[in-house]
Structure 1
């Protein structure tokens, strides 16, 4: 087989993988997981704020 043939086969394989990843990412079953991942940063902020408030309360009690 020639170099051009191998390169053509490689291009087709990469294109099929690209389409497969696109279908996987936009499938209905994955939407819930991606929404949870997108909103997880807000949950971490809430946890950090509650920890800071607890620390401030503890330091006031020690005074």
Structure 2
């Protein structure tokens, strides 16, 4: 085994890791969690933080 074999193995391992991340991110099982996280800024009842920032006198 020389350095080129090691480089090839690392390249293949990197490709497999990339494909695993893409499969995880776009899989059906992750879709619901990502949709909930995307809608968090629009959730109602979280007005305490915005009101406290604007009510301070300058």
Superposed CA RMSD in Å reads 1.9
What TM-score does the superposition give when structure 2 sets the normalisation length? 0.74
What is the rounded CA distance, in whole Å, between the counterparts of 1:11 and 1:28 in structure 2? Answer: 28
Unaligned runs of 5+ in 2: none
- Greater CA radius of gyration, 1 or 2? 1
Whichever structure has more helix as a proportion of its residues is: 1
Query: Which aligned segments of 4 or more residues in structure 1 are displaced greater than 2 angstroms?
Result: none
What TM-score does the superposition give when structure 1 sets the normalisation length? 0.69
Unaligned runs of 5+ in 1: 57-63
Q: How many residue pairs are counted as aligned between the two chains?
A: 50
Deviation at 1:41, TM superposition (A): 1.7
